[in-house]
Structure 1
Amino acid sequence: MSSASRTGSLRGQLLAWLLIPLAILVAIDAVTVYHASIEAADLAYDRSLLASTRALSERVSLVEGKVVADVPYVALDSFETDTLGRIYYKVTGINGDFVSGYDDLPPLPKDVQRSQAYPALVYFYQAVYRGEPVRIAALYQPVYDDTIRGIALIQVGESLEARRDLSRKILFDTLLREAMLVLAAAALAWFGVRYALRPLMRLTDTVGARKPTDLSDFNPDLVHKEVRPLVAAMNGYMARLQTLIAGQRRFIADASHQLRTPLTVLKTQAELALRENDPKAMRAIVESIAGTTDATVHLANRLLSLARAEHGAAEGELQPVSLASVARQVGLELAVEAVKKDIDLSFEGQREVMVRGNALLLHEMLANLVDNAIRYTPHGGKVALRVFKVDVPMLEVEDSGPGIPQADRERVFAPFYRAASAQETHAAGSGLGLTIVRDIAAMHGAEVALLDGAQGAGLKVRILFPV
């Protein structure tokens, strides 16, 4: 068997189908959780950044028409302690003039949308300042005194170190938690699959421990419902195997029993021929040996036909077969035997009568019927072979021989049974012809009927095939 057609481990496939989709779902979940956590962290940091910006805006005022910012270092240290990052700020006056802080802090881009999460004129954007990324909150703060009113711009930026540290921590915690979940699920799945396959493993052990001669059924209730059809198929296969073995044993017993007598006779005749000095007497013995040999060959052929019929029934291979073609072939093969006895062998029937069957076995069945008819029909008699279809396909073989008494018509199908009339007509018969016919017909689901011939004389064998 090639490796491409070899099926792997059932346990491995079950674990793969359980764990691979689970790992994919866990990975998708980990990505989703990570992004959701980052969004939540960004929201929290933006809120803290806005709080720092508002705290700075409270220290911005308008003095003598100029914007001033009172931002002591203590306040900046407090901002940095709260955010765990470096803080940069810038205060711009009413007319866009620099007031305090870092004058080179990146300005507010024109395309940035105002944040809708807070009731304030605040804008969040990211930029690069002094070689590192920063997050900046820009808040427009109204300032006024008795003489002038205006809006100052307060910008507070923080480095993203704290956010990155938090992102890495969230990612690590998420992956660790999901990995532990996958490992726990893998362990549970492994134990679950192993437990679920225990009945199948017990069945495997039972099959392995069976003796070669033990063909008894396995109990399907010992395995899962899904495996019971397999056990039923195994039981069915063993039943067919028992039938085949029983047929072989019967064939061996029948062959040994039936061949013992003619072989003993042949041996005796050969010994007599060796001791005989008279040529005429020796010729008579040799002729007797030839007759016994013919009978033995005929018996062996019938035994082989019976074995072939039983073997064909075990295989059960059925194909569309034309009964007319089979009948013509059998008629041509046995025409010589009919001519030797001056028997009128005729064929009647329709051209195409199809049945599902085994062509070789149907040929064997019909050959046995025609051979029997020729053997038991006297010189100058008639044998008719008919194939036709009325409601169902039919096959008939009718002869003008002595027929079979009504009392013997059921018993003649038994192996080696011969009616008294048959023994009187043809003493060298084997008693297997109709047994072979019955077995092959049964294989095809056909029925065999023994009827009287025309005008109540002879025998008509009719075989009815299923539609």
Structure 2
Amino acid sequence: MPDFLQRFDRSSLTLRVAFGVTLLLVIGGLLVSIAAFAYGREAARSAYDRLLLGAANDIASSIAILDGRAVLELPVSAFELLALAPDDRIGYRIIGPDGSTLTGYDEIIVPSERGNSRDRFFDGTFFGEDARFAIVTKRFAERTLNGTMQVIVGQTLKAREGMAYEITRQAVYVLIISGFAMACLAAVVVWSVLRPLKTIAGGLRDRDPHDLTPLDTAVPKETAVMIKALNGFMARLDRQMNSMRHLISDTAHQLRTPVAALRAQADLLADEADPERREKIAERIQSRSAGLGRLLDQLLSQALVVHRGDSARREEVDLRDIALEVFEEGDHRLLFPDKDVSLNVGEVPLPVLADAPSLSEALKNLLNNALKYGEAPIVVGAAKEGGSLCIYAQDAGGGPDAEALSLLGERFSNDTPTRQSGSGLGLAIAHSVACAFGGTLDLANLEQGGFRAALVFKAAHDGQSQ
């Protein structure tokens, strides 16, 4: 059974619909057939009971009293009514007031009377065959005859059963025709429903492999959900591919000069015989290698945050925890022991929907920039400003001028202060993290003096989308 279900799950939608329609028709057909047969039996019983009752009334109305005796002449009309069921046997019995049979078949057994109804019906047998009987009573109050006479008329059930089967057969014919019509309609509906899928498949098949622009196909609302999901997936894939292109471009752009410089310094070192000059060259090689290592770290950090921005699950993060984590790691104490760094966080939680490692990486880059180009004291903190929440790195320096400030955050900008001894990737990484989680990178000179770089987000309870 599980294998059958697995095969069924992998089957086509057309086969599923066909199976569903067939199952519906079979079950519905059985129910309709049972209902039609029950209705046919009831209709046949009602119709033929009326014939029996009419014949019994005709016979009862023909009974007369003559010289204190009941005189009966069986009416032809009564038998004409019963002749409407030509294949059935007919039986009758007339019982006098004293319970004796005046005429008819003594084999007809009348059950004990129940109720006071003048006319009633009962089921019995007639010479070994199932039969249906009607009883009509007639009251006489004559001087010579006083009492109630009973007229019993019955017939076998062949006509009734035939009528019930005929009604059932007609209902089944109608059911077959309507079922065929439903199957045809289902086929048309399935074809109509699957047509948009073929259109989508054709559009995807004819696309250039590098074309990741959104699909613009007119489809029904139900199929539009799949189009939306496909477009979202292609947008994420496009961002991933762009990040890969940027990583390759950044790496080629940034590594070419440092690697060439290292090679040149290594060639000079190999040809230099003066120990003092060799020592200076070795120091330059060491400095260049350290700079190259920092550059590689930034390139990999940028690739990491771009990847996590698309793939990492958004969770509620307290910005105070991010600031505390970066401060307690203490890298600044080793790299810049001469600069004072302090922590500023409040007691009120600052929840945002984001990815904690990405936020930490972004804040580390902001702190490193402040340590390299700013003036002590330097503050790392988290705060709430109006309806927004932020984490920031702040220094006491004057900050860049307005023109340079407008260029901060652009990769490899030659006019930024970071270009003096770095790649300019630190702020670009912070900007990518802010955009990935619905925030902004805010760079500003403070009125009270100093320069602040901050990641600004909406609070988690303000409806930031996941």
The 2-side partners of 1:244 and 1:233 are apart by 17
The 1-side partners of 2:46 and 2:324 are apart by 96
Q: 1:229 to 1:326 in 2, by over 3 A?
A: same
Deviation at 1:362, TM superposition (A): 1.3
Match of 1:83, SS state, is coil
The 1-side partners of 2:385 and 2:200 are apart by 52
What is aligned with 1:117? none
What is aligned with 2:120? 123
Deviation at 1:366, TM superposition (A): 1.3
What is aligned with 1:65? 68
Deviation at 1:142, TM superposition (A): 5.4
Q: 1:448 to 1:103 in 2, by over 3 A?
A: closer
The 2-side partners of 1:263 and 1:441 are apart by 32
The 2-side partners of 1:267 and 1:200 are apart by 58
Q: 1:197 aligns with which of 180, 186, 194?
A: 194
What is aligned with 2:369? 372
Match of 1:156, SS state, is strand
Q: 1:307 aligns with which of 285, 290, 303?
A: 303
Deviation at 1:368, TM superposition (A): 0.9
The 5 A counterparts of 1:234-313 are: 234-313=230-309
- The aligned amino acid for 2:371 is I
What is aligned with 2:316? 320
User: Does the 8 Å CA contact 1:48/1:83 hold for their aligned counterparts?
Assistant: no
What is aligned with 1:155? 152
Deviation at 1:307, TM superposition (A): 1.6
User: Does the 8 Å CA contact 1:398/1:453 hold for their aligned counterparts?
Assistant: no
Q: 1:344 aligns with which of 340, 343, 361?
A: 340
The 1-side partners of 2:115 and 2:316 are apart by 83
Q: 1:305 to 1:26 in 2, by over 3 A?
A: same
Q: 2:100 aligns with which of 97, 100, 103?
A: 97
Match of 1:111, SS state, is coil
User: Does the 8 Å CA contact 1:353/1:387 hold for their aligned counterparts?
Assistant: no
Cα deviations by residue, 1:271-325 (Å, 9 ceiling, x for unpaired):
3333344444433333222211111111111111222222233236332223333
Cα deviations by residue, 1:150-177 (Å, 9 ceiling, x for unpaired):
5432222211122122222222222232
Cα deviations by residue, 1:30-59 (Å, 9 ceiling, x for unpaired):
544443433332222122223433444466
The 2-side partners of 1:130 and 1:215 are apart by 88
- The aligned amino acid for 1:287 is E
- The aligned amino acid for 1:237 is F
Q: Which range is displaced more, 18-27 or 288-297?
A: 18-27
Match of 2:408, SS state, is helix
Q: 1:60 to 1:406 in 2, by over 3 A?
A: closer
Q: 1:399 to 1:192 in 2, by over 3 A?
A: closer
Q: 1:108 to 1:328 in 2, by over 3 A?
A: closer
What is aligned with 1:461? 453
What is aligned with 2:464? none
- The aligned amino acid for 1:361 is S
The 1-side partners of 2:25 and 2:182 are apart by 8
- The aligned amino acid for 2:122 is Y
Q: Does 1:187 align with 2:184?
A: yes
Q: Does 1:50 align with 2:53?
A: yes
What is aligned with 2:216? 219
What is aligned with 2:462? none
Q: 1:143 to 1:399 in 2, by over 3 A?
A: closer
Deviation at 1:256, TM superposition (A): 1.0
What is aligned with 2:384? 389
Cα deviations by residue, 1:50-102 (Å, 9 ceiling, x for unpaired):
34334444664445433354569x99986764432111222222322222221
Deviation at 1:338, TM superposition (A): 4.9
Deviation at 1:127, TM superposition (A): 1.5
Deviation at 1:415, TM superposition (A): 0.4
Q: Which range is displaced more, 74-83 or 388-397?
A: 74-83
Match of 1:152, SS state, is strand
Deviation at 1:255, TM superposition (A): 0.9
Cα deviations by residue, 1:422-463 (Å, 9 ceiling, x for unpaired):
55xxx431221121222222333334333346975x633344
User: Does the 8 Å CA contact 1:353/1:393 hold for their aligned counterparts?
Assistant: no
Q: 2:132 aligns with which of 121, 131, 135?
A: 135
TM-score (norm 1): 0.83
Cα deviations by residue, 1:216-260 (Å, 9 ceiling, x for unpaired):
222242x11332243233223323322232222122111111111
Paired positions, count = 451
The 5 A counterparts of 1:420-439 are: 427-439=420-432
Q: 1:197 to 1:422 in 2, by over 3 A?
A: closer
The 1-side partners of 2:115 and 2:175 are apart by 37
The 2-side partners of 1:422 and 1:50 are apart by 112
The 1-side partners of 2:96 and 2:342 are apart by 127
The 2-side partners of 1:113 and 1:200 are apart by 72
Q: 1:446 aligns with which of 426, 435, 439?
A: 439
TM-score (norm 2): 0.83
User: Does the 8 Å CA contact 1:338/1:374 hold for their aligned counterparts?
Assistant: no
Q: Which runs of 5+ in 1 are unaligned?
A: 115-120
The 1-side partners of 2:262 and 2:276 are apart by 19
The 2-side partners of 1:389 and 1:75 are apart by 104
State the superposition RMSD in angstroms.
Answer: 3.5
- The aligned amino acid for 1:450 is L
The 2-side partners of 1:201 and 1:209 are apart by 12
The 1-side partners of 2:127 and 2:360 are apart by 101
